[in-house]
Amino acid sequence: MLLLQMGPVNVTDNVTTDAPLNVTDAVTTDGPVNVTDNVTTDTPLNVTDAVTTDGPVNVTDTVTTDGPVNVTDTVTTDTPLNVTDAVTTDVPANVTDTITTDVPVNVTDTVTTDTPLNVTLIVTTDSTTDPSVNITDAVTTGTTTAVTDAATTEGLTNATVSTVTEQPTTLVTSETVGSTVTDATPSTTFAGILSVFI
């Protein structure tokens, strides 16, 4: 089923399609949006429940949701992704602008961004590359993250320490705010400025 819409799509229940959902205006729904192929829009996608897809979600404007965004393929956006609940993906999340969330961002693959990833919950990591993420609380990931900006945190737990490096470093657990965390490999350490990945 192919849905082509030139104006807003407003639904009070599920939107289900196995072909691309292409819109040139807002898509608004208070129920899940379930697709098995691409979702493409050049205006905001606003939902008050889950967005689930096993194909790419491509947007050229803001995606806003207060429920989880669960994808099993690539999420690509050149504008902010703002969520008030969890964002979960098992493939890379590639963004060219800020990702802001007040809950954890859990990924099982690489997260690449050239702008800050701002989170207001807990951060947990088992390796790191360049310092590039601005965190105010927590992030959870099982793999490495490549970032290209500066890493700052005011409350990081279970994060690796610090110098700019191209290779992952060993996880240092249960460190407290303001303490000096020592990397597993000899390197300069920082107090409170850590290299993390999402």
User: Domain boundaries in the chain?
Assistant: 22-91, 98-198
| Dihedral pair phi/psi, residue 181, rounded to 5° | -95, 135
* Rounded CA separation 72/89 (Å): 6
Pick the most confident of 47-51, 103-107, 131-135.
Answer: 47-51
Are residues 15 and 36 in contact, defined by beta-carbon separation less than 8 angstroms? Answer: no
Instruction: Give residue 106's identity as a one-letter amino acid code.
Output: N
Note the residue count of the chain: 198
Q: Which two tokens stand for residue 71?
A: 């994808």
Q: Which of 69-73, 105-109, 194-198 has the lowest mean pLDDT?
A: 194-198
Are residues 31 and 25 in contact, defined by beta-carbon separation less than 8 angstroms? Answer: no
* Rounded CA separation 52/128 (Å): 29
* Rounded CA separation 158/142 (Å): 12
* Rounded CA separation 169/114 (Å): 21
Report the first-to-last Cα separation within the chain, whole angstroms. 36
pTM here is 0.51
Q: For 33-55, how does the pLDDT look when each residue is reduced to its tens digit (9 = 90+)?
A: 778 777 777 877 778 877 778 87
Model confidence at 9, pLDDT cuts 50, 70, 90, reads low
Q: Mean pLDDT, to the nearest integer, of 179-191?
A: 33
Name every residue whose Cβ is closer than 8 Å to that of residue 186 and which is 6 or more positions away in sequence: none
* Rounded CA separation 13/22 (Å): 18
